Structure 1
Amino acid sequence: MPSGSGRSRSAAEQRFARLLVSRPQRLDRDALAAMLADLARKAKIYTSLGLRLIYHPGK
């Protein structure tokens, strides 16, 4: 095992940990509209948020 490998791994783990705790990206209205234009992606987002779309054709 090379002598510097432990330190490199530790640095990589630290970078990975920072990625995990990074702040969520904020979306503006246009970016959100663009994301929701794709129906498959929209369904995935709704599902991940626990939302259900209910259609009432008579209302």
Structure 2
Amino acid sequence: MCTHSPTCPDRDSADCCTAQVTSDHHGDQGWCRLCNGVILFDDGHYLTPDGHDATIGLAS
């Protein structure tokens, strides 16, 4: 459950990559975990908790 204000977007929403970064930030490895469970990579790709992968701004 997101405790940010305003609430972070759901992992299934089009703007899922705008959620807040959690403490699981691995900048040295090129990725971070967002509040909604999305894994965001430095190259603009992301992976949702259900395994969906895409690039920010593009649908796959």
**TM-score over 0.5 for the pair:** no
Q: Which has the higher strand share?
A: 2
- Smaller-chain TM-score bracket: under 0.3
Asked which structure has the greater CA Rg, the reply is 1
Q: Which has the higher helix share?
A: 1
